Amino acid sequence: MATTRQRITRAIASRSDAASYVPTKGENILDIFGAHVFGETVMRERLPKDVYKSLNQTIKKQAPLDPSIAEIVASTMKNWAIELGATHFTHWFHPLTGGTAEKHDAFIIPQGDGQVILQFSGKELTQGEPDASSFPSGGIRETFEARGYTAWDPTSPAFIRETTLGATLCIPTAFCSYTGEALDKKTPLLRSNEAVSKSATKMLNLLGNKKIEYVNASVGLEQEYFLIDMEYYNQRPDMIASGRTLFGAPAYKGQALDDHYFGAIKKRVLQFMQDSEQALYKLGIPVKTRHNEVAPAQYELAPVYEAANVATDHNMLIVEVMTEVAAKHKLKLLVHEKPFAGLNGSGKHCNWSLTDSEGSNLYEPGDTPHDNLQFMIFLTAIIRAIDIHAKLLRSSVGYAGNDHRLGANEAPPAIISAFLGSDLDALVKTLIAGEAPEDTESSFIKLGAGTLPKLPKDTTDRNRTSPFAFTGNKFEFRALGASQHVAGPIYILNTIVSESLDYMSAEIEDKMAKGQSLDEAADAVVRAVLKSHQRVIFNGDGYSADWEEEAARRGLPNLKTAPESAKVLLEEKTAALFEKYNVLSKGELFSRYNIKLEKYNLTLDIEFAATLDIARTLILPAAFQYQNKAAQSLAAITAALGNKPAGQAATVALLSETIESLISRIDILEKVLSETPDEGVQAHAEYYQSVAIPAMNAIREAGDALECLVEDELWPLPKYREMLWLS
């Protein structure tokens, strides 16, 4: 009799496209874009001019919110939302779980005559009390102080989430404790935005650009993900529990041929993508790019640049919306960094730059970067920041899921370095040597056919092996994992660049006070900083063993695991940095250290439990059944022939040996877990990483070996060769 897996596989293979969800015809993008967003256009049309002007100042210039306008904004927002079918509102926030949270309240207010009216006050808009005492706080608050408060973030627009039965007004908010500590991801991000704006504006004013009033961090987030049929997902308890396969032998055809990468998108997947985009356009999310990624069943979506805070909110919405839409198409969206062993993992590349109040990108080098003093100052500042705070950047992407990916062939190594490209690298070396840069003619790629145009070379290139690469007019922080919340890496980037800009401003001012001109002082500071921090610049192959040795000679840190990288959060200089820029207090920083390692340990607890359960209750029974069947067959042949056929006897012996190995490895993991040290989260995490994970991987090795031995009809789990190719 076929297993459930076999029946599902046959049903999926035989069903027609009509059995899949078919979306309605797409609407015109211009008609729907931002239709569910209380954005600038809606505010300008609906709010009184003075209220709109005041609120716009808060949004654009990060000016304090005028409390007197809250009632008018709330009433206007409520009327707009009700017109779109909203019945409830929620303060939508980002707790330290790494996800989003919401508590819905109806607009209704009961009246004495048994009727209701719809009401939404300024207080309800600006502040909420979700309690939310069960969210992780990392020890920052006691049980008797557990109440949490949400505060409206006007810099990120409110939006409508709709279902077939109604809609909800979602108001982006910060989340803090009774005593004012940040209990979320958004608050330190907003604080860091203010810090980098202040430091960058100060530098621009010093360089003579007095009209600049503020600077925004701009971010574009590329999101990679996998799609598999929902039926397969439902038969994989490991994926349900942990987001990845804890067992699974390699498929015959993986990604070796590279034929999935940028290939034609299958109809079923394209329908999902188009359906998702329609929903995202309504939320004002400017999704731009979609394509097949390297691994089979892997894809990527990328939006256009936005302000860092809005981009962060939008990235969370992208994953939430795509997950919902995938379910309509009978698909499961996977954002774990390594859902399938041996295949490309998924990242979330963070493209970061700074934009001034005039709309100019401060990392735009121009035709001759060496003549662009402003560009060289900001380039030098980030090189210094990356070198000094490499461990902090590494920590920002350190967690259990990303440990499977960093250093593999689809992700940069754990060594933080900066890739500049050939032209900028040559310019930096020239400046350090004290020589005058020379102009070089633009070079072109010759395509070899007369009908094809000449393409100007992008001298920055795109070094996939670099964790931090300059890509034309921005830096791409490539080490982020697909499932992680991006606020941490962004607020760390903002903060360390703020510190570097302030350091360089002070150095330039000091030299000018001693009689040097602005150009002389800036030139001297740029040269000195580049000379001191050039070790972090590396344009070669980050995957090579030679680079690991070279990085060690340069003194660059190589923190290979999440527990190792987390320790930087305990360093006094880290606390001093964040406190100086009012991004995190020492207590808030320590809470995040605790939460990071607690989550690491809990994630592995789930994986250990799932591994043991699947091995005992699914894999071993199937293996025993086949062992019995094979032994009976061998006995029958032996009785008939009078001797054991060597090949079949060897197979039965190998099967028995592998089963015994699996049983033994299960016992080892159980013993290892029983001996976990009770000496705090750091010791716990390090023990898991160095002892328990290898024991779990050994169980997988034996389980995957059995998958290759046990009769296909008896194997209980959907296999890689079935899950990875959507029809």
- The sign of the dihedral angle between the CA atoms of 263, 266, 271, 273 is negative
Question: Is residue 680 a part of any domain in this protein?
Answer: no
Concatenated DSSP letters of 201-229: HHHHHHTT-TT---EEEEEEEEEEEEEEE
Q: Which of 19-28, 88-97, 582-591 has the lowest mean pLDDT?
A: 19-28
- Domain match, 111 and 206 both: no
- Domain match, 143 and 197 both: no
pLDDT reported for residue 464: 73
- Domain match, 308 and 410 both: yes
Q: Which of 343, 341, 347, 334 is nearest to 255 (CA)?
A: 343
Find residue 93's DSSP bridge partners: 101
Domain boundary among 598, 633, 666: 598
- Domain match, 495 and 353 both: yes
Q: Which residues contact 226 (CB under 8 A, 6 or more apart)?
A: 295, 297, 298, 299, 333, 334, 335, 339, 340, 346
Residues making up the chain, counted from first to last = 727
Question: Is residue 374 a part of any domain in this protein?
Answer: yes
Q: Inform me whether the pLDDT recorded for 231 exceeds 90.
A: yes
Domain residue limits at 201? 193-598
Where residue 485 sits, what CATH number does that domain have?
A: 3.30.590.10
Domain boundary among 157, 184, 211: 184
pLDDT reported for residue 371: 65
- Domain match, 381 and 506 both: yes
- Tell me if 558 sits within 8 A of 550, measured CB to CB: no
pLDDT reported for residue 445: 41
Gap between the Cα atoms of 207 and 660, Å rounded: 72
CB atoms within 10 A of CB 596: 26
- Structural domain total, the chain: 2
Q: 139-164, pLDDT tens digit by residue?
A: 776 655 567 888 999 999 999 999 88
**Residue 721 vs residues 92, 251, 252, 494, 618: alpha-carbon distances, Å:** 40, 5, 7, 43, 19
3-class secondary-structure state, position 355:
strand
3-class secondary-structure state, position 48:
coil
- Domain match, 164 and 215 both: no
Gap between the Cα atoms of 367 and 123, Å rounded: 52
- Tell me if 597 sits within 8 A of 681, measured CB to CB: yes
- Tell me if 554 sits within 8 A of 547, measured CB to CB: no
Look up residue 636 and give its two tokens. 């029958």
Higher-scoring residue by pLDDT: 374, 634: 374
Residue 609 has φ and ψ, to the nearest 5°, of: -65, -45
Concatenated DSSP letters of 611-668: HHHHIIIIIHHHHHHHHHHHHHHHHHHHHHHSS--HHHHHHHHHHHHHHHHHHHHHHH
The identity of residue 220, as a single letter, is G
- Domain match, 114 and 244 both: no
Q: Inform me whether the pLDDT recorded for 460 exceeds 60.
A: no
Gap between the Cα atoms of 417 and 436, Å rounded: 26
Residue 459 has φ and ψ, to the nearest 5°, of: -70, -10
The 8-class DSSP code of residue 692 comes to I
- Domain match, 100 and 234 both: no
Question: Is residue 631 a part of any domain in this protein?
Answer: no
Find residue 118's DSSP bridge partners: 108
Q: 670-699, pLDDT tens digit by residue?
A: 999 999 999 999 999 999 999 999 999 999
**What is the average pLDDT across 629-641?**
81
Q: Inform me whether the pLDDT recorded for 369 exceeds 80.
A: no
pLDDT reported for residue 412: 78
Number of H-type helices and E-type strands within the chain: 26, 20
Q: Which residues contact 510 (CB under 8 A, 6 or more apart)?
A: none
**What is the average pLDDT across 593-602?**
96
Question: Is residue 305 a part of any domain in this protein?
Answer: yes
